[in-house]
Structure 1
Amino acid sequence: MTRQPYPPASRLDLVEELHGVPVPDPYRWLEDPDDPATKDWLDAQERLFTTEMGALPGREGFRSRIAELLKSGSVSAPVWRGERQFFMRRTPEQEHAVLYVVDPDGTERTLLDPMALDPTGLTTLDTWQPDKEGRLLAYQISVGGDEESSLYLMDVAFGDRIEGPIDRCRYSPVAWLPGGEAFYYVRRLPATEVPEGEEQYHRRVYLHRVGTSTEDDVLIFGDGMEKTNYYGVSVSRDGRWLQISASRGTAPRNDLWVADLSASSPEEPGLVVVQEGVDAQSSLHFGRDGRLYLFTDRDAPRSRICVTDPATPQAEHWRDLIPQDSEAVLTDFAILDDLDRPIMLAGWTRHAISEISVHDLVTGERIGEVPTPGLGTIGGISERPEGGHEAWFGYTDNTTPPTIQRYDARTGETTLWAVSPGAVEVPAVDTEQVTYRSADGSEVHMLVISKPGVEGPRPTILYGYGGFGISMTPGYSASILTWVEAGGTYAIAQLRGGGEQGEEWHRAGMLANKQNVFDDLHAAAEHLISSGVTTPDRLAISGGSNGGLLVGAALTQRPELYAAVVCSAPLLDMVRYELFGLGATWNVEYGSAEKPDEFAWLHAYSPYHRVREGVSYPATLFTVFQSDTRVHPLHAWKTCAALQHAQAAERPILLRNETEVGHGARAVSKTVELSADQLTFLAHHTGLTS
């Protein structure tokens, strides 16, 4: 195939000296999406992408199979409030999941359908929270992928919108007081009240009374605190206890306060410190038995559950109920107390495979296990707020679309509660969990998914994330199944920086230890090659967001190891990342270029700054989203230009720049088109022919 010339991109003679180090930035002009030169360059990149992709075979086959597998739909666990049940479901032909309610008489009806709100498919339902009685619903929607949620209130019985929009509510929890007359929520200050460039920060906790103007909302918490703080807020089932947490950006630690609302007013809660200035994350659950349960990784990087009296919530009063496990990571819990012997269900992951144990609620003694459908992922355990003997949890694995399971503590049985509504024929796959050694000798786990009976080196996609304590667990993926069905192998490495082995595993891949994550990926690639799964000319890597940083670092550090790369919504200019999107909230994970020692870490691996002329780089496809308000697409734009200038091989460097979508939720049809392009590109450059 004749390679098309790359669009011209002027190189600025721009070099800044930071902490005594000269830092070139030849493509800084691409940071401005409104610059006519940037727009012209993006238009030219779109034409190049269309031409190059149009010449590749197999796209229609990938597109149709991904679309077919996505017709499985989806379903969520029930949320019980009063005598109503709320849940999400997406049927095979729907672009977005729809929120349903089941009324006390058993009638199921649609409550919120994003496509009814906006037939273009650009509106997404970001989050929702019924009041404690199930009579009112707070919900948040955003448009075009910008995630700038606006908050509304609905009367559940009639489906009428009764308040809203309340803007600046991105990532806001909603904590209802009993009776549905008021709730706590989190809202950013107006842009006119904050310094320029800080409009995404400066959150505060407010109390809003239904039926009143937001001008009358009472400021509860947040004044004078760190600008990048995120706040959590919740109210106990009986309305007595308020808890507020504060985390600096995405830091793996929080400060925590609690107030007794029976002894102080909702407008002026008497907040008492639970923990402050402690390098740990903790959360509170007020039991129906009057005890306070704490989920914490304080002195327990794999987490534990403690118990105390609500009047003495500080750590010196905590008593272990379920101590830290030596191998499994505690993920969540639920309490079932309508039993002769009340119990606690504890959710765990063991090398990223989920399990649930049963414990005596008083002593913590392990007395059994909850049967689960297989070796997969459990998506949270929930119970009725008023108590009971039932619990619900989501389940999925590599070949099972999401299902909802019901556990009955009286019988000890787990039964299927709800299934994804679409019937699809899922291909058979083999999944193997392997271990390998990284550069420093650390043992790393990896899932390797392949078609039964396929042997010998084969085109392989290696996927990873390695950040923010997020675990890579088994799950249903139309894209993975399509690739494997076509004869490829898909490997998912559980790299340091994730949460698969607890908080210590996370911290072994953050800040000064970030290079460990990249080393773990290189070692995964070398293991796949040495074990005969693939060869360098058949090996691709893929990652998005922090995973985009991962593969960006990989392709610039070890370009000879990989044939092709898909780099989606990535962070790549790690010297200037804090200046854009939500970057300043991530310096607790990566470090800050303002500090000399942290700048040294960042500059050492920053993919944009590691591009070198005359190097043979893998075929690379950048996929970015112009409404992305988390990770600005400028990272990919600048690095794409740098790689196109530097590339010594015939392998292409392409940019897929999508408008009116963002970092997170999107319509199913857009997911299909994106996945088809990615697989088509990787198949061509690794030699996969189905």
Structure 2
Amino acid sequence: MKYLVASALALTLATACSGEADKPTNTSSAKDSMRTAEIKYPETRQGTVVDTYFNTEITDPYRWLEDDRSPETEAWVKAQNEVTFAHLDQIPYREQIRERLSTLWNYEKISAPFQEGDYTYFYKNDGLQNQYVVYRQKGDGEPEVFLDPNTFSEDGTTSLAQLSFSKDGSIAAYSISEGGSDWRKIILIDVETKEQLEPELVDVKFTGIEWFGNEGFYYSSYDKPEGSELSAKTDQHKLYYHKLGTDQADDPVIFGGTEADKHRYVGADVTEDDRFLFISAANSTSGNKLFMRDLSKPDSELVTILDHTDSDTSVLANRGTTLYLSTNLDAPNERVVSVDAGAPQVANWQDFIAETEHVLSPATGAGYIFAEYMVDAIAQIKQYNYEGELVRDVTLPGVGSIGGFSGKQEDEVIYYTFTNYNTPQTIYSFAPESGESSVYAESGAKFNSDNYVSKQVFYTSKDGTKVPMIITHKKGLELDGSNPTILYGYGGFNISLTPSFSITNAVWLEMGGVYAVANLRGGGEYGKEWHDAGTQLNKQNVFDDFIAAAEHLIAEDYTSSDKLAVRGGSNGGLLVGAVMTQRPELFAVALPAVGVLDMLRYHTFTAGAGWAYDYGTSAQSEEMFKYILGYSPVHNVEEGVTYPATLITTGDHDDRVVPAHSFKFAAELQAKASKETPQLIRIETNAGHGAGTPVSKTIEQYADIFGFTLFHMGVEELPELN
């Protein structure tokens, strides 16, 4: 069984340390002068690179910043951070925010338990530990530390990425990420002695650890690229099998070793009974082929289930030779089908759980299938047996998001989590036979949910589309247009933003802030059609949806342009970069994090070419090139425009969205924007795209982000935070 470190345990944005500086005189005039004082940015050399796209010449003066190994780039990063932190050091309440983040964060957090062999395992963080610790206990015995990632590195930047056990639970394989990189190492240990069994596997990327019995496991990786491993293109993913006791160099390629089966993303699943291996192969983040091998038959042939990438299809479970697949083929909102493994092709599929008007995300455990439906971004659960009968509509604790409802087929209890924007995560145990839920672990967060309210609204976008948004704030908020507000969005890659609690947002709410999350097109909230409506030549819909969300918040007097910040990370960083260049007057502050910002060249770095389903590429056609050029943030910064006060954040080890995107955007803004607002970049060193970021760095970063945001909204002082 495999266990990814839960996303609830892994924060997504990189951060940095900062010291406290002398505070300025506490007067309005002093603060105003600090806000408007012209910043002397580091000099950024302009090169002479010119690219030609369909007979159109595009200058790229900051191409040299793409070289992450260059001493010149290193010096530029250092100089930019010096300027940025000198500005942040002037913010009088930055330390107050940091202290409150630390205080509120400091409570014990645990995960749901899971059984492997003779032990029950769980993750726990005592409060401010940089990384969650894996504990185990046998029966009613005392829990003991099994793995402590806080010991992996002195600064806490090496994290546990995945933990997977052999079928009998006697061997554990875990992967680590160093400095936030997507390149991983896999380490094998004996669970009783905790001793390492053999040399670590190195240079693996975008992989699961999929055990076949106790003999070995499947994993995926690319050949190490020439040039920088953090930015060079990775193109052909391969599936390997590692047999215990053998050298990694001898691991056979199971799939992906030839031009005929060349794909950017290859993954494996082995059924719980070790009967079948399934291989998913894709060239983009949407759509996959699917293959199968019967592992009970030596040297069995690979059978094709799907030979095209027109759908997202995966295997849920098997009962003997009956397979249960989750798919959006001919079902944009997803369905579950069953088919016999002897003839698993599409023509033989039978609807098991038919498509409905709501998006389906199924999971299995305890001998049942749990169908999670997303109804306007809110979770509902239906429980089915393997005869296809509805057992019950599961009663949930409230209106919000759930995680879990999955496990092994022999489990007698299922665990799930419940949360929303103003309710800290609570873990529940669920008895599948009776349908009863019980609190397993309440949150220890010192946050009074009764003082806050979340409200879902539907607003109208530019083309008339109704878009949902959830707005959270203190009860009794006066709608007078004066409230500091962060509008958050993503809008891509079929990812759904569902209500969830975070300590950072709790501190923002405590400070009197409004937090609004818009469910934009491009996401998965309403299925494949909603996703496709925000991709390629429809990408502007995403930006229009976000702009309309901002206009709604202003029209309803939640806030005003002077008190409104926009925030998003990764694809959401592109979102922020696009709307701040299209409507700079609409926002006071822009916070693009680890963003995809050079849209003409994103596909030339690491695995970026796999994002083409959502974006298209500048090389695809002249029409696509011109469309992308029309919104690419790096290419739409105009001379003399007053842009929102901007704090770009990135990590120097980000090999998902390389930091050159952020570097080039910062350079363009600093060279061209008016001097009325700061255009700064905060570059975390020894940090990646976000997963595994130490708690200490996260706290420092959010103190900087919130401090910068409030400072450039003209906030003079904070309310008492407790």
Q: Which amino acid aligns with 2:552?
A: H
> Is the aligned partner of 1:71 residue 2:115?
no
Q: Which amino acid aligns with 1:424?
A: K
Equivalent in the alignment of 1:377:
401
Q: Which amino acid aligns with 2:257?
A: D
| Alpha-carbon contact 1:370-1:407 (below 8 Å) kept | no
Change (3 A) 1:87 1:230: farther
Q: How many angstroms apart in 2 are the aligned matches of 1:570 and 1:71?
A: 30
Q: Which amino acid aligns with 2:219?
A: Y
Equivalent in the alignment of 1:340:
none
Matches within 5 A, 1:543-554: 543-554=568-579
> Is the aligned partner of 1:210 residue 2:244?
yes
Q: How many angstroms apart in 1 are the aligned matches of 2:370 and 2:39?
A: 59
The alpha-carbon deviation at position 480 of structure 1 amounts to 1.2
Q: Which amino acid aligns with 1:276?
A: D
Please list the CA deviations of residues 14-63 of structure 1 after superposition, one character each: whole Å capped at 9, or x if unmatched: 43321122212222222223444433333332221122111122111211
Q: How many angstroms apart in 1 are the aligned matches of 2:582 and 2:540?
A: 11
> Is the aligned partner of 1:125 residue 2:155?
no
For residue 127 of structure 2, give the secondary structure of its aligned residue in structure 1.
coil
Change (3 A) 1:369 1:106: farther
| Alpha-carbon contact 1:174-1:234 (below 8 Å) kept | no
For residue 245 of structure 1, give the secondary structure of its aligned residue in structure 2.
strand
| Alpha-carbon contact 1:347-1:357 (below 8 Å) kept | yes
Q: Which amino acid aligns with 2:283?
A: R
Matches within 5 A, 1:176-325: 176-178=211-213, 180-191=214-225, 200-225=234-259, 228-250=263-285, 252-263=286-297, 265=298, 268-288=299-319, 290-325=321-356
Give the TM-score, by structure 1 length: 0.94
Q: How many angstroms apart in 2 are the aligned matches of 1:555 and 1:465?
A: 15
> Is the aligned partner of 1:680 residue 2:707?
yes
Q: Which amino acid aligns with 2:455?
A: E
Matches within 5 A, 1:455-466: 455=478, 456-457=480-481, 458-466=483-491
Matches within 5 A, 1:74-223: 74-104=109-139, 106-178=141-213, 180-191=214-225, 200-223=234-257
Q: Which amino acid aligns with 1:478?
A: I
Change (3 A) 1:353 1:74: farther
The count of corresponding residues between Structure 1 and Structure 2 is 676
The alpha-carbon deviation at position 80 of structure 1 amounts to 2.8
> Is the aligned partner of 1:444 residue 2:467?
yes
Please list the CA deviations of residues 333-381 of structure 1 after superposition, one character each: whole Å capped at 9, or x if unmatched: 22443xxxxx4321222111112112343133x3422222221211132
> Which shifted more, 181-190 or 169-178?
181-190
Q: How many angstroms apart in 1 are the aligned matches of 2:65 and 2:221?
A: 32
> Is the aligned partner of 1:425 residue 2:447?
yes
Change (3 A) 1:197 1:548: closer
The alpha-carbon deviation at position 412 of structure 1 amounts to 1.8
Change (3 A) 1:24 1:478: same
> Is the aligned partner of 1:345 residue 2:376?
no
> Which shifted more, 677-686 or 290-299?
290-299
Please list the CA deviations of residues 647-666 of structure 1 after superposition, one character each: whole Å capped at 9, or x if unmatched: 22511111111101111221
For residue 205 of structure 2, give the secondary structure of its aligned residue in structure 1.
coil
Give the TM-score, by structure 2 length: 0.90
Q: Which amino acid aligns with 2:558?
A: V
Please list the CA deviations of residues 493-541 of structure 1 after superposition, one character each: whole Å capped at 9, or x if unmatched: 1111111111111111111111111111001011111111111111110
Question: Larger relative contact order (C-alpha < 8 A, sep ≥ 6)?
Answer: 2
Change (3 A) 1:610 1:415: same
Equivalent in the alignment of 2:65:
30
The alpha-carbon deviation at position 101 of structure 1 amounts to 2.5
Equivalent in the alignment of 1:392:
415
For residue 163 of structure 1, give the secondary structure of its aligned residue in structure 2.
coil
Q: Which amino acid aligns with 2:116?
A: R
The alpha-carbon deviation at position 196 of structure 1 amounts to 13
The alpha-carbon deviation at position 553 of structure 1 amounts to 0.4
| Alpha-carbon contact 1:190-1:199 (below 8 Å) kept | no
Equivalent in the alignment of 2:10:
none
Equivalent in the alignment of 1:62:
97
The alpha-carbon deviation at position 313 of structure 1 amounts to 1.5
Equivalent in the alignment of 2:361:
331
Q: How many angstroms apart in 2 are the aligned matches of 1:280 and 1:445?
A: 26
Q: How many angstroms apart in 2 are the aligned matches of 1:563 and 1:652?
A: 11
| Alpha-carbon contact 2:392-2:435 (below 8 Å) kept | no
Q: How many angstroms apart in 2 are the aligned matches of 1:561 and 1:475?
A: 27
> Which shifted more, 149-158 or 286-295?
286-295
| Alpha-carbon contact 1:84-1:102 (below 8 Å) kept | yes
For residue 287 of structure 1, give the secondary structure of its aligned residue in structure 2.
strand
Equivalent in the alignment of 2:626:
600
Q: Which amino acid aligns with 2:679?
A: I
> Is the aligned partner of 1:363 residue 2:355?
no
| Alpha-carbon contact 1:466-1:497 (below 8 Å) kept | yes
Equivalent in the alignment of 1:612:
638
The alpha-carbon deviation at position 606 of structure 1 amounts to 0.5
Q: How many angstroms apart in 2 are the aligned matches of 1:477 and 1:94?
A: 16
Q: How many angstroms apart in 2 are the aligned matches of 1:289 and 1:211?
A: 31
- Structure 1 residue ranges, 4+ long, deviating more than 4 angstroms after superposition: 104-107, 190-199, 225-228
Change (3 A) 1:197 1:118: closer
For residue 169 of structure 1, give the secondary structure of its aligned residue in structure 2.
strand
**What percentage of aligned pairs have identical amino acids?**
39
For residue 670 of structure 2, give the secondary structure of its aligned residue in structure 1.
helix
| Alpha-carbon contact 2:383-2:394 (below 8 Å) kept | yes
Please list the CA deviations of residues 419-464 of structure 1 after superposition, one character each: whole Å capped at 9, or x if unmatched: 45x4523453210001111111111100101111111211111110
| Alpha-carbon contact 2:263-2:281 (below 8 Å) kept | no
The alpha-carbon deviation at position 296 of structure 1 amounts to 0.8
Q: How many angstroms apart in 1 are the aligned matches of 2:94 and 2:673?
A: 26
Please list the CA deviations of residues 224-282 of structure 1 after superposition, one character each: whole Å capped at 9, or x if unmatched: 246552112121111111111111131x111001111122x2xx442111111140011
| Alpha-carbon contact 1:75-1:402 (below 8 Å) kept | no
The alpha-carbon deviation at position 289 of structure 1 amounts to 5.8
Q: What is the aligned-residue RMSD (CA, Å)?
A: 2.2
Q: How many angstroms apart in 2 are the aligned matches of 1:83 and 1:485?
A: 44
Q: How many angstroms apart in 1 are the aligned matches of 2:258 and 2:598?
A: 31
> Is the aligned partner of 1:499 residue 2:524?
yes
Q: Which amino acid aligns with 1:681?
A: F
> Which sections of structure 2, spanning at least 5 residues, go unmatched?
1-33
Please list the CA deviations of residues 549-591 of structure 1 after superposition, one character each: whole Å capped at 9, or x if unmatched: 0000011111011111111111111111122233222223211
Change (3 A) 1:221 1:542: same
Q: How many angstroms apart in 2 are the aligned matches of 1:17 and 1:191?
A: 26
> Is the aligned partner of 1:4 residue 2:39?
yes
> Is the aligned partner of 1:624 residue 2:655?
no
Q: How many angstroms apart in 2 are the aligned matches of 1:104 and 1:277?
A: 48
Equivalent in the alignment of 2:430:
407
The alpha-carbon deviation at position 190 of structure 1 amounts to 4.5
> Which shifted more, 270-279 or 489-498?
270-279
For residue 329 of structure 2, give the secondary structure of its aligned residue in structure 1.
coil
| Alpha-carbon contact 1:548-1:571 (below 8 Å) kept | yes
| Alpha-carbon contact 2:561-2:587 (below 8 Å) kept | yes
Q: How many angstroms apart in 2 are the aligned matches of 1:42 and 1:309?
A: 57
The alpha-carbon deviation at position 141 of structure 1 amounts to 0.5
Q: How many angstroms apart in 2 are the aligned matches of 1:175 and 1:34?
A: 34
Q: Which amino acid aligns with 1:661?
A: A
Q: How many angstroms apart in 1 are the aligned matches of 2:408 and 2:441?
A: 17
The alpha-carbon deviation at position 389 of structure 1 amounts to 4.1
Q: How many angstroms apart in 2 are the aligned matches of 1:36 and 1:382?
A: 49
| Alpha-carbon contact 1:376-1:475 (below 8 Å) kept | yes
